[in-house]
Amino acid sequence: MNMSRRFGQAFLLLMVFMVLFPLLWTLLNAFKQNVDILTRAPKFIFTPVLDNMIFVLSRQSVLQALVNSLIICLVSVVVGVVLGLPAAYAIARYPNRITDELQFFVLSLRFLPPVAVAIPLMVIWLNLGLYDTRLAMIVTYSLLTISITIWLSVPGFQQVPKEIEEAARVDGCGVYAVFFRIALPVAARTLLGAVAFSFVLIWNEFLIALMLTTSDARTLPIVASEMSQLGMDVPWGILNAAVILLSIPPLLLLGLLSSFMNSVFSRKKK
């Protein structure tokens, strides 16, 4: 093994450490008492306690927020898929001036600072009497998921060779059959990435949720952040436990997706 290779590996290890260590530290702190956290020398060996986890999970607000987050995220991701994928397909397959403009418009929505979107939306939902409801959050988030899904799926559909779709038309497929039987499965890899990305983005969304919810429709990030305001002392252990719990659903989703993606990517060789 030569020097540059060794150096490269050492560099990669360092990067991995930089990314993973804070996460590991958070995980450890979630099982520490405050006295173990607030020491001068960091403690790696301690008696683990479940108090923080129990505290977080036993709070009604956390469970409700978890349910809220799951419902709001899943529904808006599904809406994004149902409306965004066909739109992306149309943009990729039938490009014209309008679709070019549309694609840029969709992206430009993402340029806007979230506050600029959140305040008008707050007024709208208040006037409609839907403020602080799951429905309002779902509709708001669907705007995001649709635009992300469109933006990330267009290249996926563009990569599907045109001849394959033409072969399907000769084989007797109409436009819808071509979309569902050919374009969707062939582009599935890229599309899955787009869907996973939009889920993670919505799951972690904080600013819009902060402005559009007060109690009933609060999502997990909001509730987790509120834990830092519990008392005079910052409850580090509880905060860490909340972060860990918050990270579990996206990790599970990515885990499922990655194993699925692996199976799609790997070619069967005999």
Partner 1 sequence: MAGIICKHINKKYGELEVVEDFSLEVADQEFIVFLGPSGCGKSTILRMLAGLEDITGGDLLIGGQRMNDAEPGDRGIAMVFQNYALYPHMTIRENIAFGLRRQKTPESEIDQRVGAVTKTLGLKPYLGRKPTALSGGQQQRVAIARAMIKTPDVFLFDEPLSNLDAKLRAHMRVEIARLHKELRTTSVYVTHDQMEAMTLADRIVLLNAGRIEQIGTPEEIYSAPRTLFVAGFIGTPAMNFLTLRPRRTETGWQLCGDSFQLAISGSAFDLHEGQQVIMGLRPSRLRPVDAGFSGPSVQGEVSLTEFHGDSVLASFSLDGVDLGSLMPAEERPREGANLTFGFAEEDIHLFDAGSGISLRC
Site residues (CB under 8 A) for partner 1?
161, 163-164, 166-174, 177, 182, 185-186, 188, 267-270
185 vs 255, beta carbon nearer partner 1: 185
For the bound state, the minimum distance from the C-beta of residue 257 to partner 1, rounded and expressed in Å, comes to 17
For the bound state, the minimum distance from the C-beta of residue 254 to partner 1, rounded and expressed in Å, comes to 23
40 vs 162, beta carbon nearer partner 1: 162
Return d(Cα 38, Cα 172) in angstroms, integer. 70
161 vs 231, beta carbon nearer partner 1: 161
134 vs 169, beta carbon nearer partner 1: 169
Q: Where are the alpha helices (DSSP H) in 30-59?
A: 34-37, 51-58
Closest listed residue to residue 125, CA positions, set 30, 202, 217: 217
39 vs 159, beta carbon nearer partner 1: 159
CB atoms inside a 10 Å sphere around CB 263: 9
Residue 162 identity: K
For the bound state, the minimum distance from the C-beta of residue 187 to partner 1, rounded and expressed in Å, comes to 10
CA distances for 68 relative to 77, 108, 209, 222, 240, angstroms: 14, 28, 11, 11, 21
For the bound state, the minimum distance from the C-beta of residue 36 to partner 1, rounded and expressed in Å, comes to 53
For the bound state, the minimum distance from the C-beta of residue 186 to partner 1, rounded and expressed in Å, comes to 6
Q: Annotate 55-99 with DSSP letters as a single string.
A: HHHH-HHHHHHHHHHHHHHHHHHHHHHHHHHHHHHHHHHS--HHH
Length of the chain in residues, anyone?
270
Query: Do 110 and 147 contact (CB within 8 A), yes or no?
Result: yes
For the bound state, the minimum distance from the C-beta of residue 188 to partner 1, rounded and expressed in Å, comes to 8
41 vs 170, beta carbon nearer partner 1: 170
Query: Do 25 and 46 contact (CB within 8 A), yes or no?
Result: no
Helix (H, G, I), strand (E, B) or coil at 217: coil
